[in-house]
Amino acid sequence: MFDNLKDSGKAWLFAIMVLALGVGFSYIAGISSTVYMFTPMLAALLMTMVLTKEGYRKEGWKKLGLHKLGLRGWPFALIVPVIPLALSYAAAWAFGLSEWRVPDKLFGFEWSAAPIVLVIVYVKSVLFESLGEEVGWRGYLLPRMVGNNERKGLLLNGLLHGVWHAPIILNTTEYHDGENVWILFPLMVLSTMFLAPVIGRLRLKTGSVWTASMMHTTHNLTWAVLAELYVNKSDAAAYVSGDMSLVVVLFYAGLTLWMWRKPAAKAVSSAVTA
């Protein structure tokens, strides 16, 4: 149907489709955040198999980055997202906005089973939930957005990722329910914009979407665990600590600027190149 579209055209068509799917899915009664996370993958499959027919060629599938594991990028994906989230909860605790409280169980399981539970949850998320997003954002869309201006493409990729969260926040109670949207939205968009150059560079340098899925999963699972261990004493805690908090925004903004300095960019590139 759109066999001769340039990459820029495919990128914008995907963006329109994934945002439309997000709005549509958000109005499904009882929709879960897990199901919503698969809308980017659905958009990528529709683009690949129906609209551009790239999926009928081997090269079309290779562009998604599913054929490489990107092993050298795994340490980065496993460690880096833990840092800003740990700092954010420590900051909220230090300012008296939250308190440390260890529950009797973790995610409904005894603490003795926590290690195996966390491994199972992590692997499942890498293979399913996080991959549902990353096949779309960093698998299909990102390589078609970077073009001759990688920095602009990375930031725009993150902007779209942030805006895509809006329907599930506005139309459901599944995600960040009860928070002030006028504070949440700017933090949400800024966090995904500044995360995008980091996770995007990891994906591009390793050639693997699995590294992006791993980094995404590390972020989400670390947030989930820390949210179990800290109890908010003030509404402000939600904006200082958490997945889209001010501390996370500042951390990734700083890391992005550091990476874009010439010497640093080379250092990061060598660290994650497969």
pLDDT grade for 147, boundaries at 50, 70 and 90? confident
Supply the pLDDT for residue 101.
92
Q: Dmax over Cα atoms in the chain, in whole Å? A: 58
Percentage with pLDDT > 90 across the chain: 82
Quick one: average pLDDT of 238-267?
Answer: 85
Domain ranges, ordered by start, for the chain: 7-261
Is pLDDT above 80 for 271?
Answer: no
Is the pLDDT assigned to residue 143 strictly greater than 90?
Answer: yes
Tell if the pTM clears 0.85, that is, is over it: yes
Decide which of 223 and 59 is more confident: 223
Mean pLDDT across the chain, nearest whole number?
A: 92
| Residue the block writes with tokens 């549509």 | 24
Q: Which residue has the higher pLDDT, 14 or 274?
A: 14
pLDDT of residue 140 exceeding 60: yes
List, as one string, the DSSP characters of 77-104: HHHTTHHHHHHHHHHHHHTTSEEE---S
Q: Say if residue 266's pLDDT is above 70.
A: no
Distance separating alpha carbons of residues 62 and 68, to the nearest angstrom: 9
With tokens 């529950």, the residue in question is 103
The per-residue pLDDT for range 92-115, each reduced to its tens digit, is: 999 999 999 999 999 999 999 999
Report in angstroms the alpha-carbon separations of 75 from 120, 125, 198. 18, 17, 14
Q: What pLDDT score was predicted for residue 55?
A: 84
Q: Bridge-partner residues for 231, per DSSP? A: 99
Task: Give, as one character, the DSSP assignment of residue 141.
Answer: I
Q: Which residues contact 156 (CB under 8 A, 6 or more apart)?
A: 145
Closest-CA residue to 142 (of 212, 75, 81): 212
Q: What is the pLDDT of residue 96?
A: 95
**Would you list the DSSP string of 199-258?**
HHHHHHHHT-HHHHHHHHHHHHHHHHHHHHHEEESSTTHHHHSSTT-HHHHHHHHHHHHH
At 173 the three-state DSSP class reads: coil
The residue with greater pLDDT, 55 or 236, is 236
* pLDDT of 29: 92
Provide the pLDDT for residue 262: 59
Q: Pick the more confident residue, 60 or 12.
A: 12
Q: Give the separation between CA 62 and CA 139, rounded to whole angstroms.
A: 9
CA distance 125 to 220: 9
Q: What is the pLDDT of residue 5?
A: 84
pLDDT, one tens digit per residue, over 33-50 is: 999 999 999 999 999 999
Determine the pLDDT at residue 267.
42
Q: What is the mean pLDDT of residues 122-140?
A: 97
Give the rounded percent of residues in the chain with a pLDDT score beyond 70: 94
For 101, counting Cβ atoms within 10 Å of its Cβ (0-12 exposed, 13-18 middle, 19+ buried), the class is: exposed
Least confident of 22-36, 48-62, 129-143, 189-203: 48-62
**Would you say residue 146 has pLDDT above 60?**
yes
